[in-house]
Amino acid sequence: MNNIPNQTIDPSKIFVQANCFYQALTILRDINPKNTQLVVDIGEPFIVVAALTIELFLKCLLCIEKGEVPRGHHLRFLFDNLSPSMRSRIRRAWDNSIAPDLAEVWNLHEKEFGIKIARDLPAALCAGGNAFERIRYSYEGKTKYLQFYLLDIPQHLRSIILELKPEWSALRRNYL
């Protein structure tokens, strides 16, 4: 992975881009789960949008903290490059809200599929860290053993960014 930073970028522009994907993710999340075929059809696109949303929010945080944006898509790499205090803040959201809320679902998935789910945030980011790249090329057959249990992270990353930059809450993409 080439991790040479891009040119200097305004982090608010990354936030606007990430927020657009976040809105699309929210729409996809509201799909009726009783329509099994639709859920199967959009499952992979849903994960790609989620992974890209997480990537952009992490890059936004990195740009806020360091003034630069690394290249690459791997979520664990991006997370590991955040400051220790920011990683702790994100980990707290995972440990106190996301993991407890999903524990029962994860238990069922482990039982049903005979897998061990990565439950701590760094391990989950490692397990699903390259979902964007692997799933967008799923026709190559390289998605076996991929785990992606990060669907609740985007809203927490967005909240953290807006706590740091409350003036960004009104930012929207211009259409003219």
pTM (predicted TM-score):
0.90
- The model's pLDDT over 122-131, given as tens digits with 9 standing for 90+, comes to 999 999 999 8
What's the DSSP call for residue 170?
A: G
Q: Which of 71, 61, 73, 72 is nearest to 131 (CA)?
A: 73
What count of other Cβ atoms lies within 10 Å of the Cβ of residue 8?
A: 9
Q: Is residue 176 part of a domain?
A: no
For residue 40, name the pLDDT band (cuts at 50, 70, 90): confident
Whether 167 and 64 have beta carbons less than 8 Å apart is answered as no
What count of other Cβ atoms lies within 10 Å of the Cβ of residue 38?
A: 12
Q: Please enumerate in sequence order all residues whose Cβ is within 8 A of that of 5, keeping only pairs 6 or more positions apart, or say none.
A: 68, 69, 70, 71
Q: Is residue 6 part of a domain?
A: no
For residue 7, name the pLDDT band (cuts at 50, 70, 90): low
Q: Is residue 33 part of a domain?
A: yes
In DSSP notation, 133-163 reads HHHHTGGGS--TT-----TTHHHHHHHHHHH
Percent of the chain with pLDDT over 70: 95
Q: Is residue 175 part of a domain?
A: no
Q: What is the mean pLDDT of the chain?
A: 91
Structure tokens at 26: 């929210």
* Structural domain that includes position 60: 11-168
- The model's pLDDT over 51-76, given as tens digits with 9 standing for 90+, comes to 999 999 999 999 999 999 998 899 99
The number of domains in the chain is 1
- With 80 as the cut, is the pLDDT of residue 2 above it? no
Q: Is residue 4 part of a domain?
A: no
H helices within 8-82, ranges in order? 11-29, 36-66, 75-80
